[in-house]
Amino acid sequence: MSRLRQVVVIAVLTFVLSSVFNLGSASLMRMLSLPYSFLLLAIIVAVGIVFDTLGVAAAAGSETPFHAMAAKRIVGAKQCIWMLRNADHVAAFASDVVGDIAGTLSGAIGAAIVFRLLLLRPSLNETLWTTTVIGFVAALTVGGKAYGKTVAIEHSTEILFLAGRVLAAFERIGVSPDTKKPARGRRSRRNS
């Protein structure tokens, strides 16, 4: 896939996923009480951190340990090899698409929580609460992603193996990328 085509595909995918997730989270926010809104916010921040960590693990990992596992037919090993051979696409999807969408949504949900707080207690200082909540969300997101990157580099094999097992489970129910198709021109890139 050409670089321009890849950028266009990622941009369109990001638009579609962001719209769907925003619509879903906005609908949930209307139905949830304030404590559950904070829980939804925490879940979205965690999803962003987890996917960003996976993207870094795919970029930092090595195929070598998974070849032995694949030879023993260990569930998830084949999917790990596929992720590593397609590391650029996996990292772009996990970190740039899902990770960044989660970051954007968490900011929007943080702002919605402040708006709700102000409706409940109009006497609250809007600037103070907006600054505090958005700053807290940003600190959690950036700090979590920074920690996740360190963990991903040090434990890429374990992270990829867990992700490979999840992909294998999805394959069993018929939902997954085509992990049987090898990446073009990348076969030997990670074997050393």
Give the pLDDT of residue 158: 96
Structure tokens at 186: 């990348």
161 lies in some domain: yes
CB-based contacts of 176, cutoff 8 Å, min separation 6:
79, 167, 170
pLDDT for 180: 56
- 185: helix, coil or strand? coil
Assess if residue 189 is contained within a domain.
Answer: no
In a domain? residue 179 = no
φ, ψ dihedrals at 32, nearest 5°: -90, 150
Q: Write a three-state SS string for 63-94.
A: CHHHHHHHHCCCCCHHHHHHHHHCHHHHHHHH
Residue-number span of the structural domain to which 46 is assigned: 3-172
Q: Does residue 71 form part of some domain?
A: yes
Question: Does residue 186 sit within a domain?
Answer: no
- Please calculate the CA angle 62-93-190 and round it to the nearest 5 degrees: 15
Residue 1 has a pLDDT of 57
**Would residue 182 count as lying in a domain?**
no
Q: Which two tokens stand for residue 1?
A: 């896939």
Q: What's the whole-model pTM score?
A: 0.79
For the chain, the domain total comes to 1
Structure tokens at 65: 């340990």
Encode burial over 40-72: b for 16+ CB neighbours within 10 A, e otherwise.
Answer: bbeebbebbbbbbbbbbbbbbbebebbeebbee
Contact between 52 and 99 (Cβ < 8 Å)? yes
Residues in the chain with pLDDT < 70? 1, 176-192
Q: Is residue 43 part of a domain?
A: yes
User: What is the structure's pLDDT at 79?
Assistant: 94
Nearest one of 83, 97, 89, 88 to 179, comparing CA atoms: 83
pLDDT at 111: 85
